[in-house]
Amino acid sequence: MEFIKELEKELVEGNNLPAFKSGDTITVSYKIKEGNKERTQQFQGVVLQRKGSGATETFTIRKMSGNIGVERIFPVNSPFIEEIKVNKKGHVRRARIFYFRERTGKSARIREKRSFA
């Protein structure tokens, strides 16, 4: 079992991602290939969860596009992710905020974590 973990550490490059958790609003810039062209697209939304560990760690982001909620799951160690920017730190009490899917209006707000420094 330890052999597998050591092999995972060698395969996973330490990409420089900022610290973020559920409730934070982030912007993910990722590469998209369309035919022989490559472009960068941005996805901004609220982090619903971080799941897994090591090479298989993923995070789920939810954004509203018009009146439709769109969720996307990104692998943390994906070579297609160019950068992640944390826009707002959110204050939530749970690690997985799936209740956020049913919220609309004022109840869909997440308190911002203030840092006094």
pLDDT band at 54 (very low <50, low <70, confident <90, very high): confident
- Segment (H or E) for 8: helix 2-11
CA distance 64 to 102: 12
Work out the average pLDDT over 55-76. 92
The β-bridge relationship of strands 58-65 and 68-75 is antiparallel
Work out the average pLDDT over 57-71. 93
Architecture of domain 2-101: Roll (2.30)
Mean pLDDT across the chain: 89
Instruction: Please state the pTM of the whole predicted model.
Output: 0.84
Name the token pair of 39. Answer: 């472009």
